[in-house]
Each structure stands twice: as C-alpha cells, then as structure tokens.
Amino acid sequence: MTDIHDVVVVGAGPAGLALAYDLRDLDLDIQVLEAGTDIGGRTRSVQLAGAAVNTGAMFIYRGTRAETLAKELRQDTVPFHPATYGVHIDGVTSVAGSTPDVVEKLPLPQASKDALVAFMDGLEREYRENVSDGAITGKAAGLGNETVASRLEGLPGPARSVIEAAVRGGSVGDAAQLSAKYALRYLASYIAHEWENRLYPVNGMQDLPRALAANVGSRTTITTGLRVHSIRESEDVLEVTAGDGESRRVLLARHVVMAVPAPQVAGICRQLPGWKHEALKDAETPGSTTVTIAANIEGLPEFADWSFVSTVGKKFDCIINPQPGVRAADGIVRFTCYGNSAGFIPGIEGDEQQIQAWVDDFLTVAPELRGRIVGAAAATWEHCFSVLSPKRNDALPALQRSVGNIHFAGDYTSETAGSHGAYDEARRVAQVLRASLAEPWTELPAGHVATEFSNT
Ligand SMILES: Cc1cc2nc3c(=O)[nH]c(=O)nc-3n(C[C@H](O)[C@H](O)[C@H](O)COP(=O)(O)OP(=O)(O)OC[C@H]3O[C@@H](n4cnc5c(N)ncnc54)[C@H](O)[C@@H]3O)c2cc1C
C-alpha cells in the first residue's frame, strides 16, 4: 500500500505554487510536480549585464492578485511609467510624448497619419472611460465580445499595420482574435501614459513564485525534473504517472490540479469529456519569443525614456524598456523585444547567430546604440499565454469546471490571462479544495499499490 496524497499539482508555475501557498494553513500533503529544472514557469528571469531581466512575464498588474501576493511577500517593485511611446516603420523611429508628435515624423501618407491619430485618440478616450486607478471597470464588460480587428475595419493599410503590430506587441495576441476589452489594458495604457497599471519587480518576475515556494505548508513537497505523463481515475483515487527521464512512478491522489498551459492539458488527462476538450480548444495559446538586449546608453539619455516602441516588419512586434525614466548608475538599459509574430523558435536560447540577427534588427530601430550592446538573452515559449478572445470568454465556465476530482487552474481559466489570472485561479481552486477536503475521506480500497519502474 502507498500513501495517498491529498493533492498532486501538475506544474510549479505561478498557478501551481500559489495553490500550495493558498492552502498553507491546512495540514495537507501536497505534491507539486514540475517537469522543468526550475520553478516559475513562464515567469522565468535571468541575469543579464548584472541585473535580473524577465524572459517571459514582465509586469505585475495593479489591483490584481499578483499585486496582493507581491505585497504580502514583500517583493520590491517600482511603478512602470510610460511617459513616451513610439513607432518604427520603414526605417524611421519616432518616439514622443503625444500621439500627434509620434505620428508626425512617420513616413506615411497623410490619410494614414490622420487615421492613426484619430484611432489612437479614440483608444485613449475609451481607456479613460473604462479604467479607474489602473484597473478595468465593469463598464468594459461589453468589449469582451468584440475583437480588436472589428475596430480596425476601414483604416488605411499602413495605419492598420502600425496598430496591428502594436496590438501584437502589447498584448501578445492577434487583432483578429483579441477582445477589445484587453486591448485597453495592454495597449491603450501606454498611449494614456498610465502609471497606475503596471509594477516592475526589480528582482525579476520569478522572485514571486520563489517566495511562494518558500512559504508553502510543512507537508508540501515541490519536486523539479519530474514530468507528469498521465492521470487516470481508478476506484475513487487518481493515479498520476510521472517520470524523470530514467524511471517512472505512480502517485495516488485524492485531487489533482492541472496548472499547465491549456494546450498541454488534454495530452496529460486523456479521459476528459468532450465539453472540456472543446473548451480547451477555445483557449488558444500561441507561441512567442523574446530577446532582451542590454545597451550602454551613456550620453544618450533619450533611450532611458523609451517605454514601448511598436515595430513594423521586424523579427519582433515591439520593444519594451520596463524601467523608463530610470538613469541607472552603470548607464545600462535592458530592452526586451517581444516577438509574437515570430512565434515559438526552438533552440534560439543557445543560438548566437539567431540572437545576433535579432540584435541587428534592434539596431535598425535604434542605430545610435551600435557598438554599445553589452549582452543579449533569448527565450522562446511554445505556449505564450492564452489569448483573450471572445471565444475564450464564452468558454470560461467550461474551462473552470472540474472533472470529478481533477481541477483546472492557470491563466487560461481566468478572465484575464497573465500571471495575475493564474494566481486568481489558484485561489478559486484552493477554495474548491478547501470545501472538498473538509469532508471525511474513506480509506483507499485494497489493491492500490504505487508502482515504480525503470527504463520507460
Ligand atoms: C512573453 C510573455 C510575456 C508575458 N507577460 C506577462 C506580464 O507582463 N505579466 C503577467 O502577469 N503575465 C505575463 N505573461 C504570462 C504569465 O507568464 C503566465 O500567465 C503565467 O506564467 C501562467 O502561470 P501558470 O502557472 O498557469 O503556467 P506556467 O507559468 O506555464 O507554469 C506551468 C509549469 O508547468 C510545468 N509543466 C508543464 N507540463 C508539465 C508536466 N507534464 N508535468 C509537470 N510539469 C509540467 C512547466 O514546466 C511550467 O513550469 C507573459 C508570458 C509570456 C510568455
């Protein structure tokens, strides 16, 4: 006979770790299994030119569960204040503090310039109507069922390509899929110079999952390097088969929480009902690649003020400087190039040639920084984050619904994708478990023996 764990959590990203943290006051036996060599999932941070840089998630959004947790766990954060924003198109980079000034310098026909100014002014107006203290209000609910693309109809081609690149860069989604509601949060906030919207964690986004992991209950174990291959229900317990590449083992659990990207769920839980499969398909989660470039900007202070530069026709869709306005003592600024159009590029992380190609592209946007690059790091994500589309909006109740004692948490089960969504969903599932585990548990029927077998 073997132990039956109260909960097995698949994935030690924000959702999986927050779940264990949220249940820390109960004396539960929780096993968090992580396939990778480190915890934190898509919030990974690395050191680049002497400071932490985020290779995936960049900001903690104000007014969300991520901010609450960051405060609770005493994370160091600074507000992100986008005083300027910019556009690069056809060899010209224009960065300024207002839409007319940004658009004026762009090599576009006058009709496109006028359309761009009108569109961006409209977006800023809508932002002010629907956002309060940096958070989207209930007034924006209707925008959840409208795509950004529907807003772009009738725009002249060149103006449209600028907005499409900005939407992709700012929200890691496509205008055709993305709901207008989230364009507000992810794009219009830059135009509105919103500084109540995002916080930058100075020690990196991964610091928060690390802090969660350090504060779980005494009977919680987090194991890295153990991939879950399958889950099946057998006589009221769940059998979780996991392996470390050399051997496999079966763990028994009363509950399982899936805390992995939506496209990975069905491959692990093969017995899900049709409605769950359909819902998971509606949570599209495309790939993305980021390259962070550290540059010495001594004598070029204007680069410190860059916040968000949308780029047309590059390997990436935008460049973000997460600490605009900061004049670092060492003169180094770290710019992250977000490539949603580029998608998932396996192997780029260790491929110097490919990284150099991104750096070269970056230098066509910021030619003044040639000869000043002091480091670059790439990361690629097969499933970047769940696109906030009207389709996914409709699928939300089915995404959240448990299947027996298998529960689903992660950014794809949240109304808002991003780590805050994952943290929210961890809390929702923790409440479900809290209620369920309070009920008496009948002992395991005879015959359940944990298996350990090698070379599979
Ligand atoms: C480029 C990019 C930019 C982003 N920007 C932001 C941002 O600014 N702010 C923000 O809040 N969020 C942002 N996000 C999203 C944020 O990173 C995710 O929403 C969040 O990480 C989701 O957490 P999760 O726990 O659901 O999934 P993940 O972070 O993906 O964690 C899942 C974990 O499960 C593990 N796993 C997968 N399969 C298995 C298996 N079979 N067995 C065991 N373990 C497994 C994975 O290795 C991973 O560690 C961004 C993401 C990317 C990629």
* E-assigned strand segments in 196-312: 198-201, 220-224, 227-234, 237-243, 247-258, 288-296, 308-311
Question: Quick one: average pLDDT of 252-264?
Answer: 97
| 12/196: higher pLDDT | 12
Q: Say what the alpha-carbon torsion angle 22, 28, 29, 34 is, to the nearest 10 degrees.
A: -10
- DSSP, collapsed to helix, strand or coil, labels residue 23 as coil
CB 383 near ligand 1, within 6 Å: no
Please state which of the ranges 317-326, 382-391, 418-427 shows the lowest mean pLDDT. Answer: 382-391
> In which residue ranges of the chain is CATH 3.50.50.60 found?
4-43+206-283+387-454
Looking from the CA of residue 412, the nearest atom of ligand 1 is: 26
- DSSP, collapsed to helix, strand or coil, labels residue 398 as helix
Question: Across all residues in the chain, what is the average pLDDT?
Answer: 90
DSSP state of 179: B
pLDDT of residue 440: 59
**Residue type at 270 in one-letter notation:** R
| Contact call for residues 79 and 88 (beta carbons, < 8 A) | no
Distances (CA, A) of 451 to 2, 5, 249, 268: 9, 15, 6, 18
Question: Quick one: average pLDDT of 225-229?
Answer: 98
Tell me: pLDDT of 64 over 50. Answer: yes
- How far, in Å, CA of 272 to CA of 252, rounded? 18
> In which residue ranges of the chain is CATH 3.90.660.10 found?
46-200+288-343+345-381
Residue closest to 404 by CA, chosen among 242, 239, 279: 239
CB 59 near ligand 1, within 6 Å: yes
Residues 427-436 pLDDT 10s: 999 999 999 9
CB 169 near ligand 1, within 6 Å: no
CB 279 near ligand 1, within 6 Å: no
CB 35 near ligand 1, within 6 Å: yes
Tell me the two tokens of residue 147: 């795509």
Tell me: pLDDT of 1 over 90. Answer: no
Tell me the two tokens of residue 203: 């020690």
H or E segment and range at residue 381: strand 373-381
The CA 272 to ligand 1 mean position distance, Å, reads 22
- How far, in Å, CA of 343 to CA of 383, rounded? 9
User: What pLDDT band is residue 445 in, cutting at 50, 70 and 90?
Assistant: very low
pLDDT of residue 57: 94
In CATH, 46-200+288-343+345-381 is 3.90.660.10: yes
Q: Which ranges of 23-79 does DSSP label H, i.e. alpha helix?
A: 65-72
The residues pairing with 34 across neighbouring beta strands, listed in sequence order, are 224
Looking from the CA of residue 36, the nearest atom of ligand 1 is: 47
What top-level class would CATH report for the domain 4-43+206-283+387-454? alpha beta
Distances (CA, A) of 260 to 8, 92, 140, 408, 411: 13, 41, 29, 9, 9
Highest mean pLDDT among 162-171, 233-242, 397-406: 397-406
